[in-house]
A and B are shown apart, each in its own frame.
Chain A
Amino acid sequence: MARYGMALDYKNCINCKACESACKEENGILLGADKHRIWVGVKEVEGEFPLLSIASSGFVPSQCQHCDDAPCQEVCPTNATYYDENGVVRVNVEQCILCTYCMNACPYDARYVDDRTMTVDKCNFCSDTRLSRGEVTTACQNTCPTKVRTFGDLDDPDSEISILLRARDHYTLKSHLGTKPKLYYLT
């Protein structure tokens, strides 16, 4: 049993979108479902020429935050959304009734309707694919050319992610909502 999380050294992101492609390939995501399961946010350059703020520009990759206190799980009427033994927030497609309450409840816009199953889907840290095959990385992490992502067990003090989070300052998105996300942005 682990408690999986991900650290993102987002300032290294070059917006090549290899993570999005790898995620689609690995998890069989349909074409057209762009920025649904995983995406790269683009911070536009602020200011007017010639007073442009180069510091304002940047890329912020994001996806499901795998909250420890996930609003999407709380609101699910059939418990189709659940925490697996590794603390990953997942969806049981057999139980999902497509009421889309979770889509409204998720503060991170991380859920979408999967047209293959007509149920609500989301990132599951490749639990159905790579992790179930015994691999220890997610597709997005494995493919990233600038090593933005570090995936691992937050409960293991010797894991790479735990060492990284001890060494580097980090923040989580919308932490004021009390959702306790497990995606950490390294500063």
Chain B
Amino acid sequence: MSMKEFVTSIPVNKVGLKDLLGFEKSPANIFLAFLTISLLGMFATGVAIYLMDGHHAYNVTREHPWGLLLAAYIFFVVSSTGLCIIGSLGDVFGFKDYELISKRAIFGSIVTIVSGFAVIIFEIGHPITMVVYNVLTPGLTSAIWWMGTLYGLYLTFMIIEFVFLLKGNMKLARYFGLPGLAIGLAAHSNLGAVFGFLNARPISNGVYFPMYFILTAFITGVFIAFIFMGFRYKLKFPQSVKTMLTSLGKIQLFLLLFLAFFMTWKFLTDIYGGVPDRADVAIHILSSWTFWAEVILVIALPLFVLLKDIGRSHVAIFYTSLSGMIGIAFMRYNLIHDTQLKPLQMLKTSEYQLAPTWIHYVPSMTEWMISLGGIGLCMALYYLGTKLFNLDADTYHPA
């Protein structure tokens, strides 16, 4: 089979503007359409301002060089890795119950990582230089190099896997899905290592973040799986979907308890371990409202709902998954900000000129617009995908 024949044999629906606008005009759908278009408008505006003013459009500073855009990028790539894990449960590991979400999850993983890339190219000052010198003079000791390179490779594998899923070739989908998952996990743990390697930042230095990133990716994947299924079936789930969601709920229960355990020990060791510049930062983090927003939205609320009847309240879990994703956004912002909280010059207080204080950072309007715009991009691409492709399992026909 020639390449042309292969490409033309990929099942894609013919979609016109009429099809795209032909959704049911319920208040919820109209609201979502309006929200998506508004977010896309924000993205375009933010990018336009960035193109005119460059990095001066952002509130990042010498003391706080990483801002909201990096948090948004992490938010998207964590979602992508999470969806890849969820998609792989069915098509790579052969768990039958999860096959009905495989195609949708793998497509979601592509959409989210593309959105992440769309955001990060406006954070990286010279993205074209990056592409060139990433190849010509690779920094093999840099976690950013590994993360970026592996994510590029991961995206390639995800696209190939998705194509084979569309063509119904489960065997080849598995052959590409397994290395794709392995590369995705490697890329994602390297993203954690970007923080873990910082010996200048004791609060982030160490093995915690590479592990935590994988755990939170899985949690994010389950949240999005509930959201995908909730919208797909308008919260009226067929029995087979209910079976899958109950299983996912149980997995989420375990993962959230594990996360709570992880975080508790992270803070206990940070605070009572007494390492200078780690203990005081950890105590300061506990006093920030964004941290508690993360704890309540990602852990407490979902756990409360999941524990009530061990993952069987699917509609309630859908809503806590929505709020959970807001919590995940807080989680990514906190990660970025908390890493940079402590002024570096303060580390030897008596030798430097800065008064002992915390670094402050408030994202600029442009940063907000591009970051939130990324969500709009994600929603638009996903909607387009639902029209272009059959994202339901081929063997599955809803009642």
Binds A, one of B104-112, B192-200, B309-317, B322-330: B192-200
Residues of B bordering A, CB below 8 Å: 54-55, 60, 62-63, 65-66, 124-127, 129-130, 133-134, 137-139, 141-145, 148, 194, 197-201, 339-340, 343-345, 347-348, 350-353
When the two chains form their complex, are residues A78 and B133 in contact, meaning their CB atoms are under 8 A apart? yes
**A62 / chain B contacts, CB cutoff of 8 Å:** 351-352
**B345 / chain A contacts, CB cutoff of 8 Å:** 41, 109
**B343 / chain A contacts, CB cutoff of 8 Å:** 109
**B129 / chain A contacts, CB cutoff of 8 Å:** 78, 94-97
22 contacts between A and B (CB under 8 A): A41-B345, A60-B352, A62-B352, A74-B142, A74-B197, A77-B138, A78-B134, A79-B138, A79-B139, A95-B129, A97-B130, A100-B66, A101-B142, A101-B144, A103-B65, A104-B340, A105-B198, A107-B199, A109-B345, A113-B62, A118-B55, A174-B348
**A108 / chain B contacts, CB cutoff of 8 Å:** 344
When the two chains form their complex, are residues A100 and B65 in contact, meaning their CB atoms are under 8 A apart? yes
When the two chains form their complex, are residues A112 and B62 in contact, meaning their CB atoms are under 8 A apart? yes
The complex places the Cα of A100 from the Cα of B123 at a distance, in Å, of 10
Known contacts A97-B129, A97-B130, A98-B125; A174 and B66 CB within 8 A of each other? no
A163-187 residues at the B interface, CB under 8 angstroms: 173-174, 177-178
**B198 / chain A contacts, CB cutoff of 8 Å:** 71, 104-105
Cβ distance A81 to chain B, nearest Cβ, rounded Å:
8
When the two chains form their complex, are residues B62 and A98 in contact, meaning their CB atoms are under 8 A apart? no
6 new A-B contacts, CB < 8 A, other than A95-B137, A99-B144, are: A60-B351, A79-B137, A97-B124, A97-B127, A99-B124, A100-B65
The complex places the Cα of A79 from the Cα of B139 at a distance, in Å, of 5
Closest to A112 in B: B62
The complex places the Cα of A120 from the Cα of B345 at a distance, in Å, of 18
Q: Is residue A52 within 8 Å, beta carbon to beta carbon, of the partner chain?
A: no
Known contacts A78-B137, A97-B126, A98-B55; A40 and B353 CB within 8 A of each other? yes
Residues of A bordering B, CB below 8 Å: 35-36, 39-43, 56, 60, 62, 71, 74-80, 94-101, 103-109, 111-113, 118-119, 173-174, 177-178
**B142 / chain A contacts, CB cutoff of 8 Å:** 74-77, 101
When the two chains form their complex, are residues A77 and B348 in contact, meaning their CB atoms are under 8 A apart? no
The complex places the Cα of A79 from the Cα of B130 at a distance, in Å, of 11
When the two chains form their complex, are residues B351 and A41 in contact, meaning their CB atoms are under 8 A apart? yes
When the two chains form their complex, are residues A107 and B137 in contact, meaning their CB atoms are under 8 A apart? no
The complex places the Cα of A71 from the Cα of B198 at a distance, in Å, of 8
The complex places the Cα of A107 from the Cα of B130 at a distance, in Å, of 24
When the two chains form their complex, are residues A41 and B352 in contact, meaning their CB atoms are under 8 A apart? yes
When the two chains form their complex, are residues B199 and A71 in contact, meaning their CB atoms are under 8 A apart? yes
**A39 / chain B contacts, CB cutoff of 8 Å:** 353
Cβ distance A95 to chain B, nearest Cβ, rounded Å:
5
Known contacts A39-B353, A99-B130; A118 and B344 CB within 8 A of each other? no
**B65 / chain A contacts, CB cutoff of 8 Å:** 100, 103-104, 113
The complex places the Cα of A5 from the Cα of B141 at a distance, in Å, of 25
The complex places the Cα of A43 from the Cα of B141 at a distance, in Å, of 37
Which of A74, A95, A103, A177 lies in contact with B62, CB distance below 8 A? A103
**B194 / chain A contacts, CB cutoff of 8 Å:** 101
**B66 / chain A contacts, CB cutoff of 8 Å:** 100, 104
Closest to B146 in A: A77
The complex places the Cα of A74 from the Cα of B363 at a distance, in Å, of 29
When the two chains form their complex, are residues A118 and B125 in contact, meaning their CB atoms are under 8 A apart? yes
Cβ distance A72 to chain B, nearest Cβ, rounded Å:
9
When the two chains form their complex, are residues B54 and A118 in contact, meaning their CB atoms are under 8 A apart? yes
**B127 / chain A contacts, CB cutoff of 8 Å:** 97
**B348 / chain A contacts, CB cutoff of 8 Å:** 173-174
Which of A35, A41, A77, A174 lies in contact with B145, CB distance below 8 A? A77
**A97 / chain B contacts, CB cutoff of 8 Å:** 124-127, 129-130, 133
Cβ distance B8 to chain A, nearest Cβ, rounded Å:
38
Cβ distance A37 to chain B, nearest Cβ, rounded Å:
11
**A77 / chain B contacts, CB cutoff of 8 Å:** 130, 134, 138-139, 142, 144-145, 148
Cβ distance B323 to chain A, nearest Cβ, rounded Å:
31
The complex places the Cα of A95 from the Cα of B353 at a distance, in Å, of 32
**B197 / chain A contacts, CB cutoff of 8 Å:** 74-75, 105
When the two chains form their complex, are residues B139 and A177 in contact, meaning their CB atoms are under 8 A apart? no
**B200 / chain A contacts, CB cutoff of 8 Å:** 71, 104-107, 177
The complex places the Cα of A113 from the Cα of B62 at a distance, in Å, of 7
When the two chains form their complex, are residues B344 and A109 in contact, meaning their CB atoms are under 8 A apart? yes
When the two chains form their complex, are residues A80 and B344 in contact, meaning their CB atoms are under 8 A apart? no
Closest 3 CB pairs of A and B: A98-B125, A78-B133, A107-B200
